[in-house]
Structure 1
Amino acid sequence: MPRLRTDDRGQAAIEFTGTLPLILVTLALLWQAAMVGYTFMLAGNAADKAVTAATTAKGSALVACQNAGREDLPSAWDATFSCHASGDLMRAEVKVQVPLFFPGAFNTPMTLTGDASANLERSWGW
């Protein structure tokens, strides 16, 4: 008659090995969610800086818009800037690609947009 094993030695190691991929996938998804949130914050901040610079620019508003928007945006993030004035309102739109896990390596197909607008500064000569 064969002897049945009644102890559970090694059971914790087997269970950990089985749940380890689930833990790693969960951590990867949380990290990617943090990257999306950080990219959203960067896009909004870049749009705010860009429109502020464009409204107070002495020379070309478009050049000032792009330079100011890129100033605080890390170089690993791909972004496009669009600044245009309509009447007394300057509007800046920044589209930033969301990186996949690590900035500078690969980008996801997702693009986040930051918008900002402000009234143009006028020199009244007082």
Structure 2
Amino acid sequence: MRAVYRLDDRGQAAVEFAGTLPVILVTLALLWQAALIGYTFSLAGNAADAGARAGAVAGVAACGAAAREDLPDAWQSADIDCQDDGDLFRVSVDLPVPILFPGAVNFPFEVPADAAAPMEDPS
């Protein structure tokens, strides 16, 4: 008696999942990277605002400290430029953009943010 082989779809779902898994993982990595870029923009803007507020009251030294105060460790290498511009105190912050994991490797570009605040009398 000859063996009869049935051709059916057993295992097809596993094959399709194995084929689409790389696409799913790449999509998740791209979404995570987009979230990190957006978070870096938010951090840069907040740091510039905090630095401008502190600098308008207490000067350049307070500006840099206030701008770095709330930055996570992975973004502490920020370039912060504080300037007393007459009636305004201007701050420019450039933050590195991490690749997938903050603190590991950064993209070769930085996210810029600028802020200004009117000078205040500290008394």
Q: TM-score, normalised by structure 2?
A: 0.91
Which whole-Å deviations, capped at 9, do the CAs of 1:38-74 have from their partners, x for residues lacking one?
00000000000000000010xxx22111100010011
Choose between structure 1 and 2: higher helix proportion. 2
**Structure 1 equivalent of residue 41 of structure 2:** 40
In the alignment of these two chains, the number of paired residues is: 121
- The residue type paired with residue 103 of structure 2 is G
**Structure 2 equivalent of residue 102 of structure 1:** 101
Which whole-Å deviations, capped at 9, do the CAs of 1:4-42 have from their partners, x for residues lacking one?
643110000000000000000000000000000000000
- The residue type paired with residue 107 of structure 2 is T
On the 8 A contact 2:82/2:89 being kept in 1, the answer is: yes
Q: How does 1:1-126 map to 2 (within 5 A)?
A: 5-57=6-58, 61-77=59-75, 78-122=77-121
Q: Percent identity?
A: 57
Alignment partners' CA distance in 1, 2:90 and 2:105:
29
Alignment partners' CA distance in 2, 1:110 and 1:28:
19
Aligned with 1:85: secondary structure?
strand
Alignment partners' CA distance in 2, 1:86 and 1:67:
19
Gaps of 5+ in 1: none
The runs of at least 4 aligned residues of structure 1 exceeding 2 Å deviation read 3-6
- The residue type paired with residue 105 of structure 2 is F
